[in-house]
Amino acid sequence: MVETRLPYGSQVLATGAHFPRKVMKNVEFESFVETSDEWIKSRTGIESRRIADPALGETTLTLSLEAARVALDRAGVRPDQLEFIVVGTVTPDTIMPSTATQLQALLGAPKAFAFDLSAACSGFLYGMSIADQYISAGRIGHALVIGAETLSTVINWRDRTTCVLFGDGAGAAVLGRTEGERRILSTRLYSDGQYGDLLSIPHGCSKVPVYSPEYRLDLAKIQMKGREIFKLAIRNMLDASASVLSDAGMTTADVDFFIFHQANIRIIDMCAKSLNVPPEKTWVNVDKYGNTSAATLPACLYEAQMAGKVKEGDTVLMATFGGGLTWGASLIRI
Ligand code: ACO
């Protein structure tokens, strides 16, 4: 899908992020699966992740709420100005009502229409693109886009090939209408359902409900063919990046900062190397948080902005990849 330039555009007014309090370090896995801190660090770059604790009131919804509050506060936008709320998540608090409508109620955003979006790790970029379309078409003025997950709730803690990889967290962006140059320049989104089995949660929904005799708890958890996904993730993020650069008539030399989906440091490094991007022009937080799926891009952008690495007027390229399969890239003048 290609987005064309319209008189109105949407500006990313501010971002925010929030992570659970509990830090889980790699060594903790050594007591219940056959793994090591050394293996996890060297094969993925992950050193720790955050795990939501429902006893502390930490769920996808509350993480989203905190990230949203940071972004709204920084943007100087009141919740009652929001006309659209979208939450990219595969771990909603409940299937119905959506996390987004619950968030609308908690924030006090009565003018917003709200829904959840299922595009796995690409959920934030997909949501941002929808918000951009509504804003650019002149239909709405402000939107709140969230990527949030509590993947700890769908991890099989006995499967060493997946349990060490994921973490919980939320990222948020507030978008507003602009006629200026600081806007989303181009977004491209892609899917390929033929590869759906590479990353899935097969049981627990309508195909095999919890009351079905076939239901298996281990299959209501993330199943992943990591090695196959690895190669596709790199190739597709690079292709999507090339497409948004071409749309904007730019090359990587015109881009100030790059943010790649945080699944594995080796994927990030290979993408950066292929695009000739030096380490100081990328952001990495997979070491601290693991793969937080839809939350990674907005949380990285927030952290990079707070660290002064991304400044007003900078051009930022973000690329993502996830289950579905889904992937995409976006070029933004911040
Ligand atoms: N500890 C120790 N050994 C392990 C572990 C572990 N935690 N996990 C796997 N191994 C073993 C394997 O069993 C295998 O052993 P074998 O050779 O005896 O069979 C060996 O390590 C190598 O396994 P690989 O799968 O080849 O390891 P690889 O280097 O590919 O790393 C990983 C695996 C980290 C999953 C990597 O493939 C990856 O990051 N893939 C991409 C993940 C991704 O991008 N997902 C998409 C987004 S996620 C989303 O949408 C929610």
Say which CATH number the domain at 312 has.
3.40.47.10
Show the CA angle centred on residue 298, arms to residues 293 and 300, nearest 5°.
90
Task: Using the CB atoms, write b or e for 181-201: b if 16+ within 10 Å.
Answer: ebbbbbbbbbbeeeeeebbeb
Residue nearest to atom 46 of ligand 1 (CA): 322
CA of 226 to the centre of ligand 1 (A): 5
As beta bridge partners, residue 143 has 84, 175
Are 218 and 259 in a shared domain?
A: yes
> pLDDT at position 4, please?
54
Are 231 and 99 in a shared domain?
A: no
Are 102 and 223 in a shared domain?
A: no
Q: Is 261 a catalytic residue?
A: yes
Residue nearest to atom 40 of ligand 1 (CA): 226
Secondary structure (H, E, C), the chain: CECCCCCCEEEEEEEEEECCCEEEEHHHHHHCCCCCHHHHHHHHCCCEEEECCHHHCCCHHHHHHHHHHHHHHHHCCCHHHCCEEEEECCCCCCCCCCHHHHHHHHHCCCCCEEEEECCHHHHHHHHHHHHHHHHHCCCCCEEEEEEEEEHHHHCCCCCHHHHCCECEEEEEEEEEEECCCCCEEEEEEEECHHHHHHEECCCCCCCCCCCCCCCCHHHHCCEECHHHHHHHHHHHHHHHHHHHHHHCCCCHHHCCEEEECCCCHHHHHHHHHHCCCCHHHECCCHHHHCECHHHHHHHHHHHHHHCCCCCCCCEEEEEEEECCCEEEEEEEEC
* Spatial CA neighbour of 66 closest among 167, 56, 287: 56
Are 229 and 292 in a shared domain?
A: yes
Domain boundary residue among 160, 179, 198?
179
323 lines ligand 1 (CB under 6 A): yes
147 lines ligand 1 (CB under 6 A): no
Question: How crowded is residue 169: how many other Cβ atoms within 10 Å of its Cβ?
Answer: 32
* Residue whose token pair is 């899908």: 1
* 10-residue mean pLDDT series, the chain (334 residues): 69 98 98 98 98 97 98 98 98 98 98 98 98 96 98 98 98 97 97 97 97 98 96 97 97 98 98 97 98 98 98 98 98 98
Give a yes or no: residue 3 inside a domain. Answer: no
Are 175 and 68 in a shared domain?
A: yes
Give a yes or no: residue 312 inside a domain. Answer: yes
Q: How many domains does the chain have?
A: 2
CA of 191 to the centre of ligand 1 (A): 23
Domain boundary residue among 179, 204, 237?
179
Atom of ligand 1 nearest to the CA of 160: 7
Range of the domain at 293: 185-333
Give a yes or no: residue 161 inside a domain. Answer: yes
264 lines ligand 1 (CB under 6 A): yes
Q: Do strands 142-150 and 84-88 pair parallel, antiparallel, or not at all (unpaired)? A: parallel
Residue nearest to atom 29 of ligand 1 (CA): 43
Q: Is 291 a catalytic residue?
A: yes
Are 243 and 208 in a shared domain?
A: yes
45 lines ligand 1 (CB under 6 A): no
322 lines ligand 1 (CB under 6 A): yes
| Prior bond of 199 cis (ω within 30°) | no
Residue nearest to atom 19 of ligand 1 (CA): 161
Are 170 and 230 in a shared domain?
A: no
Residue 45: C-alpha distances to residues 14, 42, 115, 263 (Å): 28, 6, 33, 9
Domain boundary residue among 179, 200, 215?
179
> pLDDT at position 6, please?
65
> pLDDT at position 213, please?
98
Are 19 and 156 in a shared domain?
A: yes
Tokens of 177: 């209408």
Burial (0-12, 13-18, 19+ Cβ within 10 Å), 253: exposed
Are 143 and 47 in a shared domain?
A: yes
Q: Is 121 a catalytic residue?
A: yes
How far is residue 304's CA from residue 129's CA, in Å, rounded to a whole number? 21
44 lines ligand 1 (CB under 6 A): yes
Give a yes or no: residue 72 inside a domain. Answer: yes
Give a yes or no: residue 2 inside a domain. Answer: no
Are 20 and 52 in a shared domain?
A: yes
Residue nearest to atom 5 of ligand 1 (CA): 161
Q: Are 139 and 177 in contact (CB under 8 A)?
A: no
**Integer distance in angstroms from the first to the last C-alpha of the chain?**
22
Are 41 and 76 in a shared domain?
A: yes
Give a yes or no: residue 221 inside a domain. Answer: yes
| Prior bond of 97 cis (ω within 30°) | yes
Give a yes or no: residue 214 inside a domain. Answer: yes
Give a yes or no: residue 4 inside a domain. Answer: no
Selected catalytic residue, list 236, 261, 264, 271 = 261
Are 234 and 171 in a shared domain?
A: no
> pLDDT at position 7, please?
79
